Chains A and B, each alone.
Chain A
């Protein structure tokens, strides 16, 4: 019994670390710029597809391919911010929301056009499986968790330790005071989107390696990402990390012990339960 629970927790942590990556990207855009970036999942999937093409068709290794996709993803983030979100920045929030929905359709359509309707799995060399004290440990799952942890840690260090990161925090805490200190708030918005999309692309590539990428997966992922955002506490990066892992683990436990058909239902029940007790989210501020 204990082994089975641990097994499901381990499986849940792997997919949970992908949810975390998606949610951290969403939470920095929401927390700093106040935008509900619904197209984030679809942008992440573009990166996943690109990683697939680079590995499958061009024979690049998994990590080099992901690095290329990450740069392309950051560039896509810059384009989205400049062309889509910046023009509506001073407009009522509903405008940015409509833009986000439109962008989702454009990106999903673009993915379909560029990469086709087929489900793809990104090939990786990490196919070994270890058995540790009765636990089945897939090498790929470990790689996924380590990559996600590394990406989130790199982002956290950038935001907390560098001058550019400090200017991001300044805009998040008090935009007007930040401008008075000489911070270019437009440049910060661009930087935040680049960071967010880069993290999303890593998430997309990891989903493609762990499960599969297909049309619609990105939209499903962004819904879970927002669920994590609310679960963890809006705008909180630690909340997104914990929330993503909690969602992944509760899904895996539900799939393992109840029914995999109900795993989404149970995951959202957990979320509702948490919000009933802590309406501000796990690590949110009251």
Chain B
């Protein structure tokens, strides 16, 4: 579904990614794990058209997307739930969700809104409330719901557990598991490697802009180097 080959990218004079390749197949959950600064977020930003690839290719459903501008990526069926939630703070919860469906012209949006309020019941009573007044956990749920409003074929999550209380992190994990179970393809970046590897069918380990390991989520969970470096046991 998503095929990344020899991707190089960076900022200014610095290359962050030194030619990485990875695949995401339909209905799969793929995780990129690695330390801070390994290039995980940059890889995602390339897929979403927020950072231009310097070399290599990104293909989605058989078509090159590495030169498609960021605002057109969502129409291809890729949505990202960005790091740090990035909800529209001065808009209401409802308006944030409508922004998620900004590119949609169909009439099913109302039904999807209802379904999302069922999935995230904490958001329903806050529909008219300013998103900036929500708690961190609620904002994360809103950011996830907003991403789902575009009905993505591939939904990308950049550090969804970052800065959240452990109880909320569990909720995020359950939510991602549900999204995956609903048949949406998921690409996940997490510093919380144990959570990422539990969710992922397959995972790639990034180190300093290179992919150093690849395997199923379970394999990597028990891999001695991974467990020592990222899981802490």
Could you tell me which A residues sit within 8 Å of B by CB distance? Answer: 163, 166-167, 169-170, 173-174, 176-185
Contact = CB atoms under 8 A, between A and B. Distances in A.
B88 interface: yes
Interface stretch (B30-38, B55-63, B78-86, B176-184): B78-86
Contact of B150 (A173, A177, A181): A181
B86 A176 contact: yes
A180 B73 CA distance: 8
A182 B74 contact: yes
Given A177-B86, A179-B71, A183-B71, 4 more contacts: A169-B88, A182-B73, A182-B103, A184-B69
Closest 5 CB pairs of A and B: A182-B103, A182-B74, A177-B86, A179-B70, A173-B88
Which among B70, B74, B80, B103 has the highest number of chain A CB atoms within 10 Å?
B70
Contacts of B69: 184
Contact of A176 (B72, B82, B95): B82
A23 B146 CA distance: 34
A48 to B, nearest CB: 34
Contacts of A174: 86-89
Given A182-B74, A183-B71, A169 B91 contact: yes
Contact of A181 (B49, B50, B89, B99): B99
Given A173-B89, A179-B71, A183-B71, A167 B50 contact: no
A176 B50 contact: yes
A166 B100 CA distance: 12
Interface of B: 48-50, 69-75, 79-80, 82, 86-91, 95, 98-100, 102-103, 146, 150
A183 B102 contact: yes
Given A169-B91, A174-B88, A179 B99 contact: no
Contacts of B102: 163, 166-167, 170, 181-183
A179 to B, nearest CB: 4
Contacts of A184: 69, 71
Contact of B72 (A167, A177, A182): A182
A182 B68 CA distance: 12
A43 to B, nearest CB: 28
Contacts of A166: 91, 95, 98-99, 102
A180 B82 contact: yes
B187 to A, nearest CB: 14
9 contacts: A166-B91, A166-B102, A170-B99, A173-B91, A179-B71, A180-B74, A181-B99, A181-B150, A182-B103
A7 B157 CA distance: 61
B86 A170 contact: no
Contacts of A163: 102
A184 B71 CA distance: 5
A173 B91 CA distance: 9
B91 A180 contact: no
Contacts of B75: 182
Contacts of A177: 82, 86-88
Nearest to B104: A182
B74 A170 contact: no
